Structure 1
Amino acid sequence: MVFKLLEAAQKSWRRLDGHNQLPKLVLGVTFNDGIEVVAKPTDRQPITAAA
């Protein structure tokens, strides 16, 4: 039954806008209103993932 519910819901799903920007987001690039913010090299702080 869950499979049928997901199958029905999938018909109304749409692709994410900007899905091509996801790799940049993972790398820590900052975006402001969907526009990439270019920071000076000294302004960047390394981002570490929580365990």
Structure 2
Amino acid sequence: MDKISADGVSHVGIYVGDGMMIAAGDPIGYSNLNTSYWQSHLYGFGRLPAQ
């Protein structure tokens, strides 16, 4: 599968609360969004619409 990058975005995660996300990397794992790394690399976030 080819990687597709939009404006430099190449990674996704799912917020699970308490400043943590499940990071869809290799390997998949938990990441703390309160670290300096994620503070400078987080591109955006959103919520799926209610059905």
- Structure with greater proportional strand content: 2
Q: How high is the TM-score relative to the length of structure 2?
A: 0.27
Quick one: higher RCO (CA 8 Å, sep 6+), 1 or 2?
2
- Structure with greater proportional helix content: 1
Q: How high is the TM-score relative to the length of structure 1?
A: 0.27
> Which has the higher Rg, Structure 1 or Structure 2?
1
